[in-house]
A and B are shown apart, each in its own frame.
Chain A
Amino acid sequence: MAVRIEAFDPGLHDTKDLSCGSDSQDSFLRRTAKRQQRDGYTRLYVATDATQAGEPRACLGFYAINAHAIGVADVPADAAPRAPRSNLIPGVFLSHLAVDRRHQGKGLGRILLVDAMQQCQRAGQILGVRLMLLDVAATAGEAERARLHSFYASMGFRLLPGRPERLLISLSSLPPPAPPCGRPA
């Protein structure tokens, strides 16, 4: 299936049929995301079927990111070498990442995560961004949390000491960023 990932537009994207198996994720997308994006608290990106004709476009998955800062003392020393005097490390927080049940198990989650990482890299080209952080849902069961930890660990994330739900990755551990939009590689 050809998938397109694009900035969420409430007038263009249909979210009502998306069901991720997590009430909090579904509720966020349907009820909260539009307002939070309008008010500048988050930026949402959705995956759609690139072959779907007409509008609105059904969402197959999504992620949400926002600016974040974390104290130097809260991260492992090697995650913040030569930290600034402000004692705050700039980062991007991945607040949501979910895939519709009908499209789970096809690698779409990894594609969305890579897309989110590359958005962080693009942000890092115009302002300081050192880390990407996320929380594994506290509402998830033990088995689901273990699965999520394993998924993110395989992508290079590691646990934040003293915060078992929080994971981080340094942008310096990512491959080179994709070329800017609209420019050839």
Chain B
Amino acid sequence: MRRTWRLCITALAALDAETTPTPALLEAWQLHQDKDVRSGSGGGSDRSL
């Protein structure tokens, strides 16, 4: 039952392009997250390219 609901929600989300991130955005987001080291002051962060 829970799996069915999850499938329905996933399908509805896929129909709504407004709420679906693009593959390039997801990739850049992941790169940003993976390399991120928050400084904790002033919103600074370190990343490796």
Using an 8 Å CB-CB cutoff, how does the interface string of A1-45 with B read, 1 for contact, 0 for none? 111111100000000000000000000000000000000000001
Q: What's the Cα separation between A119 and B42 when bound, in Å?
A: 11
Contact B18 A114 (CB under 8 A): no
Q: What's the Cα separation between A3 and B25 when bound, in Å?
A: 19
| Nearest CB on B from A82, distance (A) | 13
Contact B41 A182 (CB under 8 A): yes
Using CB atoms, name the residue of chain B closest to A151: B24
Contact of A155 among B25, B41, B42, B45 (CB under 8 A): B25
Contacts of B33 in A (CB 8 A): 178
A110 at the interface (CB under 8 A from B): yes
Binding site for B on A (CB under 8 A): 1-7, 45, 50, 78-79, 106-108, 110-111, 113-115, 118-119, 122, 154-156, 170, 172-175, 178-179, 181-183
Using CB atoms, name the residue of chain B closest to A6: B44
Contact A155 B28 (CB under 8 A): yes
Binding site for A on B (CB under 8 A): 18-22, 24-26, 28-29, 31-33, 36, 38-49
Contact A1 B44 (CB under 8 A): no
Using CB atoms, name the residue of chain B closest to A1: B49
Using CB atoms, name the residue of chain B closest to A46: B44
Q: What's the Cα separation between A113 and B48 when bound, in Å?
A: 15
Contact of B45 among A4, A108, A170, A175 (CB under 8 A): A4
Contacts of B44 in A (CB 8 A): 4-7, 181
23 residue pairs of the A-B complex, CB under 8 angstroms, read A1-B49, A4-B39, A6-B42, A6-B44, A107-B49, A110-B24, A111-B28, A111-B49, A114-B31, A122-B43, A154-B25, A155-B24, A155-B25, A156-B22, A173-B19, A174-B21, A174-B29, A175-B29, A178-B36, A178-B38, A181-B41, A181-B42, A182-B41
